[in-house]
Amino acid sequence: MAVFASVLLTNLFAIVVALVVITIAFYKWKYVHWKMKGIPYLDPSIPFGNITNPFKENKQLNVEFANWYARLKSMKHRYGGVFMLFNPILLVTDVELVKNILTKDFANFMDHGFYTNERDDPLSVNLLSLEGQKWRNLRVKLTPTFTSGKMKMMFQPVVDCSNIMANAILSYSNNQQPVNIKEVFSCFTTDVIGHCAFGVECNSFTDEEGTFRVRGKLATETTVEENLKNLVIFAFPDLAKMLRLAITKKKVTQFFLKLVEDTVSYREKNNVRRNDFMQLLIDIRNSEENGEAMSIRDLAAQVFIFFIGGFETSSTTATFCLYEISRDLEIQDKLRDEVNEVLDKFGGKLTYDAIHEMKYMEQVVDETLRKYPPLSIMFRICTKDYQIPDSNVVINKGERVAISSLGLHRDPEYFPEPEKFDPERFNPENKSKIHPFSYIPFGEGPRICIGLRFGKMQTKVGLATLLRNFRFTLNPKTNDPLVMDPAHFLLSAKDGVWLDVEKIG
Ligand code: HEM
């Protein structure tokens, strides 16, 4: 018996050693990728590649990419290789090449290369992840959903939601309590997108455990373990499909599929129409030929990506903005003066045209998106071999390319003193001098953010409503300087942004 156990142990040990050796050999083979191509690269280490070991120091991925950008740039490289686990990614630092990839040579870099799994993760089959002709067809269909006419139609509900937010903040100011503005703005944008995408009143302020708010948090926050699972999905998408892995959490998928099914069936049975994204998608679906029409699952995937894209990006933008203008009261006062001046002109009413007259507001939001672009890593998959101009280097079909807008936006060559929050960078005179493609918070080219207008609109409405009513200062509970939260895929302030609020007038 003892002999049998000892043989078993020896065999087990041999298997483990063999596995370790094979894994190391596999990694070493992968890690020569850039060297073999003669492309400069940052030294990776097993097993995370260039990513900081999340068990030692969990860093935000957007920040990691920006740091790699700065390192490659400091070595005067126009591009360079990095590794996520063992996956090689070409990180571009040269703005001309950024321009080629996003616009001029878009045909070679059309796809994001995100994981989709129609069977097990139906919400993943959305505009952000779709590829090739399927993406193109859907983009053409969805583009009319975001025209300025449609934005005007959705404007009043956004204002109504912002007034509810102002009411919620009033109680903090009355009780002299600091407010976690990130949480408050997330409730506002959840209410907005719930209304505008699904036609649902979410009441995130009164119903703290509200299903939308909870599902929104669940969909966007990840644990270290989930981040690792997502990295594995990223590294082995085919295996992940075989193992039926999903990025979207099961509860989130069930909730959104049911909501969309119920809403579509209710509207169709009762002949109900509403001014929201869901209605626009139902109309597109009804206008399509049988066989080509979007299924309910397709429709749910699109409203879902509007929901995810819609609430978190805008709420983090407004949060970063309020953080900065609470540190610089001169900017805050100037912005408030403009809001009041314009509103006086419009009889005190916050209208679509009034928001567009607020030029300084535009500058402040532009500068916020410079310093804190919420979605700052733009991935592309090379879909056709591509020779980098003025070089012998070829990016091969299937290789991943990344652009870090955070890296570009904090590059002193394009934005001197990049850590300084200075809306004057975007005044009409200076704005015209900004190097093209060094400022790309929404991406650029055919794959530019489809919700740009909506995102900016709801951010500005929220800010205008708050600034005309309150004065904000930084509460000591805020990390200053801010720390970015590794639990979010988007740039987001860890532990929130806490502000003291004083009612005006
Ligand atoms: C401040 C707000 C926002 C920012 C900074 C932002 C940023 C971005 C960025 C950087 C991309 C990737 C572009 C690329 O890969 O080249 C993107 C794509 C996208 N965004 Fe936004 N976004 C915002 C708001 C919104 C809103 C409000 C919606 C929907 C209601 C939305 C929906 C989408 C979708 C569907 C895509 C994928 C487009 C495609 O691949 O064709 N975004 N966004």
Structural element, H or E, at residue 395? strand 394-395
Distance, CA 289 to ligand 1 centroid (Å)?
28
127 lines ligand 1 (CB under 6 A): yes
Nearest in space to 426 (alpha carbons), one of 375, 380, 365: 365
Rounded-to-integer distance, Cα 220 and Cα 375, Å = 12
Ligand 1 in contact with 88 (CB < 6 A)? no
Which residue among 449, 459, 491 has the greatest number of ligand 1 atoms within 8 angstroms of its CB, and so is best to mutate? 449
| Beta carbon of 371 within 6 Å of any ligand 1 atom | no
> According to the annotation, is 161 in a ligand binding site?
no
Q: pLDDT tens across 422-436, in order?
A: 999 999 999 999 999
In angstroms, the CA 360 to CA 424 distance is 9
Q: What is the mean pLDDT of residues 357-365?
A: 98
pLDDT at 158 exceeding the cut of 70: yes
User: What value does the mean pLDDT take over residues 99-120?
Assistant: 94
Q: Cis before residue 481, ω within 30 degrees of 0?
A: yes
User: In angstroms, rounded to a whole number, what is the distance separating the alpha carbons of residues 355 and 250?
Assistant: 39
Q: Count H helices and E strands in the chain, helices first.
A: 20, 9
CA-closest residue to ligand 1 atom 19? 449
> At residue 54, does pLDDT exceed 70?
yes
What's the complex ipTM? 0.99
Residue corresponding to tokens 């957007």: 62
Residue 372 CA, ligand 1 centroid: distance in Å: 15
Q: Name which of 83-97, 216-230, 298-312 the model is least confident about.
A: 216-230
486 lines ligand 1 (CB under 6 A): no
Vertex 267: Cα angle to 264 and 269 (nearest 5) = 105
3-state secondary structure of 38: coil
* pLDDT tens, residue by residue, 242-265: 888 888 888 889 888 988 898 888
Find where tokens 């005007």 sit. 152
Quote the pTM value. Answer: 0.93
HSE toward the beta carbon, residue 164, CA cutoff 13 A: 22
Mean of the pLDDT values across residues 50-77? Answer: 92
Give me ligand 1 centre to Cα 445, in Å: 12
Q: Whose CA is nearest to atom 21 of ligand 1?
A: 449
Q: In whole angstroms, give the CA distance from residue 181 to residue 50.
A: 33
Residue 93 pLDDT grade (very low, low, confident, very high; cuts 50, 70, 90)? very high
Q: Does ligand 1 have an atom closer than 6 angstroms to the CB of 450?
A: yes
Selected residue with higher pLDDT from 405 and 304:
405
| Residue 390, both tokens | 């003025």
Q: What is the pLDDT of residues 185-240, one digit of tens each?
A: 999 998 998 888 887 777 777 766 656 666 666 666 667 777 777 777 877 888 88
Ligand 1 centroid to residue 443 C-alpha, Å: 8
Q: Is the pLDDT of residue 458 over 90?
A: yes
Look over the chain and give the mean of its residue pLDDT values, rounded to a whole number.
91
Ligand 1 neighbour 194 (Cβ under 6 A): no
pLDDT value of position 212? 65
Coil/strand/helix, residue 155: helix
Is residue 396 within 8 Å of residue 382, measured between CB atoms? yes
Q: In what order do the strands lie in the sheet with 400-404?
A: 79-84, 87-92, 400-404, 377-381
What pairs with residue 387 in β-bridges? 394
- CATH number, span 31-503: 1.10.630.10
> Is ligand 1 within 6 A of the CB of residue 462?
no
Residue labelled with tokens 């583009």: 143
Q: Is any atom of ligand 1 closer than 6 Å to the C-beta of 377? A: no
Task: From the CA of 440, give the closest atom in ligand 1.
Answer: 10
Summarize pLDDT for 263-296 with one digit per residue, the tens.
Answer: 888 888 888 888 888 888 888 888 877 667 788 8
How far, in Å, CA of 35 to CA of 485, rounded?
Answer: 33
- The contacts found for 257-265 with CB under 8 angstroms, 24 or more apart, are 257/122, 257/123, 257/296, 257/297, 257/300, 259/198, 259/200, 259/300, 260/198, 260/296, 260/299, 260/300, 260/303, 261/296, 261/300, 263/198, 263/199, 263/200, 264/296, 264/299
